[in-house]
Amino acid sequence: MIFKAIMRYYSYLFHTLLAIVLIAISGLAMASGAGLRLGMLPWSGDTLNYVVFFGALFGLAVTFLAMRGILRILFLIWSFLIFVLLVKGYIFSGYKFGANEFRTALYLILASLLALFGAWYQLRTTGRPRKY
C-alpha cells in the first residue's frame, strides 16, 4: 500500500515537472521567435512550439485534476501517451544520439515507465469515505 502511494506521488511529481519544463522551454522559444529543434518528436517549426506548449498545459491540467481525484483515466492515458512518444521518438525513429545522450534518453524513458505504473496505481486507488 505504501509502495503504491509512493508510485502515485512519483507519477504526479514527474508529470508536473515535465509539464513545467516543457512550458518554460516552448514559452521561451515562442517569445524569442526561435523554433525548437526536438528531433525525437514528429513535428517541427512553429507547429512544434505550439504542440509542446499547449500539450504541456494540457498535461499540467490533467495532472492537477488527477491529484484532485477527477478524470483519473485521462491521467493514465496522458502518462501512456508520454511513454509512447518517448519510446517512439528515441528508439523507433531515425533519431541520432549525441555524446552521452543515449543514457539521458534511457533514464527519461525509464522514469516515464515508472510514472506510467504510478498512474495505473492512482487509477485503482479507492477514495476515502466521505464524512457528511
Q: Could you tell me the pLDDT band of residue 21, with boundaries at 50, 70 and 90?
A: very high
The residue that leads in pLDDT, 68 or 128, is 68
**Residue 27 scores a pLDDT above 80:** yes
Question: In the prediction, which pLDDT does 129 show?
Answer: 59
**Residue 15 scores a pLDDT above 70:** yes
**Residue 14 scores a pLDDT above 60:** yes
Q: In this structure, what C-alpha cell is assigned to residue 24?
A: 518554460
Q: What DSSP assignment string belongs to the chain?
A: -HHHHHHHHHHHHHHHHHHHHHHHHHHHHHHHTPPP--TTSS--HHHHHHHHHHHHHHHHHHHHHHHTTSSHHHHHHHHHHHHHHHHHHHTSS-----TTHHHHHHHHHHHHHHHHHHHHHHHTPPPPPPP-
Model pTM score: 0.89
Question: In the prediction, which pLDDT does 128 show?
Answer: 60
**pLDDT tens profile 52-77:** 999 999 999 999 999 998 889 999 99
Q: Could you tell me the pLDDT band of residue 122, with boundaries at 50, 70 and 90?
A: confident
